């Protein structure tokens, strides 16, 4: 362990590079030393439009012959790479030069105080996007997660390769949804949009015997996002199980499921009717919120 009083610890973290590295240039020297690292492949649920000229410019290494040597972009070699680690180390050295202790500000901590403490349920990395994780586990039967994951991979692949959906104006999707033609290139967003759009806003809760005469009192209740998604997936699964068998073996179920997802986006799915029924019932049951039995219970 490095002694806190010696400046050599800071010197050790200085790295010398003869040319600048691109990925470090964007990091600001003021960036927090610890931040929640997020995994590029899992967190990318935002859908972007493809570049306007969709032929796309060629990436640099493809344009010419791929050779090992790339010409230096910077005219003179830099002594230290301009990254936040070096900036921090240099700041420490300046602190020492000014006659202060190197770790003046951080009593008893080797690496300083974290600017933002991770919460109890925060993960350093999450393997899958949230919706994907939930839906995969809802597809699981008999505890066979691996099979569910394979099905999910097939579903995403199917969404990616089938042609862009034609959204029906009769069944509008979530406000602010990305344009339909960009959806296939982002299958996770495609799936999320389908599930979130068709998810009901509320559920009907039956309070036993509260309406008087042994009748149940029906009360609409809002649901959390995760609950809403769960209900939507259950409805979709119900619709899928009624479909005719397609293909064989391991991709049969996934194929039907993927087709249902597309049907949801295009407004053809019967799941929309279920949603409408629940919403109608919910609207009617709003009157029960002021039922005397319920008001009495609230007191």
**Residues making contact with another protein (CB under 8 A):** 21-23, 40-42, 44, 50, 54-56, 58-59, 61-63, 65-66, 68, 128-129, 132, 136, 146, 149-150, 152-153, 156-157, 160-161, 163-164, 169-172, 174-175, 184-188, 201-202, 242-249, 251-252, 255, 272-273, 276-277, 279-280, 282-283
Q: How far is the CB of 170 from another protein (least distance, A)?
A: 5
Q: How far is the CB of 218 from another protein (least distance, A)?
A: 15
**Of all helices (H) and strands (E), which one includes residue 167?**
none
Tracing tokens 């009617």 back to the chain, one arrives at 284
Q: How far is the CB of 53 from another protein (least distance, A)?
A: 9
Q: How far is the CB of 253 from another protein (least distance, A)?
A: 13
Q: Quick one: which of 41, 37, 34 has its CA closest to 125?
A: 37
Contact 225, 192 (CB under 8 A): no
When the beta carbons of 90 and 147 are compared against another protein, the nearer one is 147
Angle between helices 145-161 and 130-139 (to 10 degrees): 120
When the beta carbons of 235 and 272 are compared against another protein, the nearer one is 272
When the beta carbons of 10 and 139 are compared against another protein, the nearer one is 139
When the beta carbons of 255 and 291 are compared against another protein, the nearer one is 255
When the beta carbons of 40 and 292 are compared against another protein, the nearer one is 40
Q: How far is the CB of 70 from another protein (least distance, A)?
A: 10
Contact 69, 11 (CB under 8 A): no
- Show Cβ contacts of residue 117 under 8 Å, excluding neighbours closer than 6 positions: none
Q: How far is the CB of 241 from another protein (least distance, A)?
A: 9
When the beta carbons of 94 and 273 are compared against another protein, the nearer one is 273
CA atoms within 13 A on the CB side of 103: 17
C-alpha distances out from residue 10 to 84, 89, 266, Å: 13, 5, 59
DSSP 250: G
- What token pair was written down for 187? 């299958």
CA angle, residues 72, 61, 70, in degrees to nearest 5 = 20
């Amino acid at each position: 362990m490095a002694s806190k009083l010696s400046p050599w610890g800071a010197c050790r973290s200085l790295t010398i590079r003869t040319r600048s590295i691109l990925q470090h240039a964007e990091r600001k020297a003021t960036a927090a030393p610890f931040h929640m690292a997020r995994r590029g492949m899992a967190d990318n649920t935002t859908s972007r439009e493809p570049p306007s000229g969709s032929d796309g410019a060629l990436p640099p290494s493809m344009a010419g012959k791929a050779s090992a040597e790339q010409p230096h972009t910077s005219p003179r070699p830099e002594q230290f790479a301009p990254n936040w680690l070096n900036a921090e180390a240099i700041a420490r050295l300046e602190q020492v030069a000014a006659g202060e202790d190197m770790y003046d500000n951080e009593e008893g901590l080797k690496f300083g105080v974290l600017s933002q403490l991770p919460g109890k349920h925060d993960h350093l990395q999450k393997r899958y996007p949230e919706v994907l994780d939930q839906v995969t586990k809802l597809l699981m039967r008999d505890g066979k997660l691996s099979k569910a994951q394979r099905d999910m991979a097939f579903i995403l692949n199917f969404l990616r390769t089938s042609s862009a959906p034609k959204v029906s104006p009769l069944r509008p999707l979530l406000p602010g949804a990305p344009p339909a033609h960009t959806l296939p290139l982002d299958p996770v967003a495609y799936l999320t949009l389908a599930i979130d759009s068709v998810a009901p806003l509320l559920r009907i809760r039956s309070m036993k015997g509260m309406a008087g005469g042994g009748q149940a009192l029906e009360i609409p209740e809002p649901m959390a996002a995760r609950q809403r998604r769960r209900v939507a997936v259950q409805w979709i699964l119900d619709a899928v199980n009624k479909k005719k068998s397609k293909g064989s073996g391991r991709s049969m179920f996934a194929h039907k499921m993927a087709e249902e997802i597309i049907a949801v986006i295009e407004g053809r799915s019967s799941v929309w009717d279920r949603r409408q029924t629940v919403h109608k019932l919910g609207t009617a049951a709003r009157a029960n919120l002021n039922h005397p039995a319920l008001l009495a219970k609230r007191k």
